[in-house]
Amino acid sequence: MTPTTPGASGTTAGGGPRGSGRVGVGVIGAGTISTQYLTNLTSFPDLDVRVVADLAVDRARAQAEAFGVPRWGSVEDVLADPEVEVVVNLTIPAAHVEVAGAAVAAGKDVWTEKPFALDRASGTSLLEAAARADRRVATAPDTFLGAGVQTSRRLLESGEVGDPLTALVLLQSAGPESWHPDPAFLFAEGAGPLFDIGPYYLTALVQLLGPVARVSATSSRARPQRVIGSGPKAGQVFDVEVPTHVSALFEFEGGASATALFSFDSAVSRTQLEVAGTTGTLELPDPNTFDGDIQVHALDGTARSEPSVGSTASRGAGVLELARAIRAGRVERASGAQAFHVLDVMVSTVEAAQRRSPVEVESTVEVAPALPADWDPTAATL
């Protein structure tokens, strides 16, 4: 892997506008998160959700009927449907690359849930396959498209706190096993606080400060097993396969740095994202949300609240932004290149913790422009 990983420059597939009218969508994966996606995707006028698929076809049928989607079936049904242009890949993390690769091979563009991949090699292979097929593999999170991060980005770019120098990330909790009815996968390879929640913060940092160049880190695991605290599996014990506490220092290509803590080992719950510049500090809303006021702190000790301006549409907004980018022939903002870079940063963080020495991040990405403040998912534009 090199800095010229396919898609690293941000160039788009196709080289020009493709198709016309509403964009046909097929959803693969009818699990819990599909409810939020389908709620939004079926409300956006520029999208036409045609089919829902799942390994459990009865579950796909239930979701399709609940949201007025005309068809349901298997993965093969989605891939063979000529009316489906974009596949929304909501499968488990271990299947993300396989399903996305099959969609690309079938001539579909892809929106995939995070993580983009579990390792660099499979992520690189997927980007290369998409480039050969002239398709796109946009990837969650799309929370950075929300008013909170976008307003913060516009404030930074306007010089509100001077030149950005440092950032602070705090993500602390006791872990999700107390409330999640089936949490074992959140402590398996490809998850943990870094891979499960980290992408929201790291994607926001890349949007605000640019690509990461170097990582130093430490990690630990409080206990080798945990107990499910709610639901039908309450009381069951499961193994913890990954670090549950990660502390990292990120150095960015532009010279800024960020100190970050990702932990499922804290009895104190805390989320924090702030960016400090030469003349002040921005305190951002939780990047795992789409909205929230920004606190602007000046060096003289004064502070004010700045309302977020922009879209507050939740998960699925990135699918719409991808669809509009396809029609316009421009780069989608939640690009595969950005997702690969965030993956590379996370893998580098794990390696830095294991080696107890800094790791150079070889990939890079060209960050797409901020969204216009009046970007409206509810408008019919296609």
pLDDT in the model for residue 3: 37
| Phi, psi dihedrals of residue 227, rounded to the nearest 5° | -120, 130
pLDDT interval class at 202 (50, 70, 90): very high
Contact (Cβ atoms closer than 8 angstroms) between residue 252 and residue 126: no
Distances (CA, A) of 14 to 60, 68, 76, 139: 32, 32, 25, 18
Distance of CA 332 to the CA centre of its chain: 13
pLDDT 10s digits, 228-238: 999 999 999 99
Distances (CA, A) of 288 to 148, 217, 292, 377: 10, 22, 11, 19
User: Which burial class, exposed, middle or buried, applies to 68 when counting CB atoms under 10 A from its CB (0-12, 13-18, 19+)?
Assistant: exposed
Distances (CA, A) of 242 to 90, 191, 238: 22, 7, 12
Assign domain 147-306 one CATH number from 2.30.110.10, 3.40.50.300, 3.30.200.20, 3.30.360.10: 3.30.360.10
Q: Is the pLDDT of residue 11 over 50?
A: no
pLDDT in the model for residue 254: 96
pLDDT 10s digits, 86-144: 999 999 888 999 999 999 999 999 999 998 998 999 999 999 999 999 999 999 999 99
pLDDT in the model for residue 311: 87
Which among 242, 212, 213 has a CA at the least distance from the CA of 226? 242
Which among 124, 118, 116, 226 has a CA at the least distance from the CA of 182? 226
Which among 325, 366, 343 has a CA at the least distance from the CA of 111? 325
pLDDT top residue among 219 and 289? 219
Q: Is the pLDDT of residue 8 over 60?
A: no
- The CATH superfamily holding the domain 23-143+314-334 is NAD(P)-binding Rossmann-like Domain (3.40.50.720)
Percent of the chain with pLDDT over 90: 89
Which part of the chain has CATH 3.30.360.10? 147-306
pLDDT in the model for residue 1: 38
Q: Averaged over 175-197, what is the pLDDT?
A: 91
pLDDT in the model for residue 15: 58
Which part of the chain has CATH 3.40.50.720? 23-143+314-334
Cis amide linkage into residue 141, ω under 30° from 0 = yes
pLDDT 10s digits, 129-159: 999 999 999 999 999 999 999 999 999 999 9
Q: Is the pLDDT of residue 4 over 60?
A: no
Give the Cα separation of 133 and 143 in Å (integer): 28
Three-class SS string for the chain?
Answer: CCCCCCCCCCCCCCCCCCCCCCEEEEEECCCHHHHHHHHHHCCCCCEEEEEEECCCHHHHHHHHHHCCCCEEECHHHHHHCCCCCEEEECCCHHHHHHHHHHHHHCCCEEEECCCCCCCHHHHHHHHHHHHHHCCCEEECCCHHHCHHHHHHHHHHHCCCCCCEEEEEEEEECCCHHHCCCCHHHHHCCCCHHHHHCHHHHHHHHHHHHCCEEEEEEEEECCCCEEECCCCCCCCCEEECCCCCEEEEEEEECCCCEEEEEEECCCCCCEEEEEEEECCEEEECCCCCCCCCCEEEEECCCCEEEECCCCCCCCCCHHHHHHHHHHHHCCCCCCCHHHHHHHHHHHHHHHHHHHHCCCEECCCCCCCCCCCCCCCCCCCCCC
| Phi, psi dihedrals of residue 275, rounded to the nearest 5° | -125, 125
Token pair of 82 as six digits: 């000529």
Residues facing residue 295 across a β-bridge: 283, 305
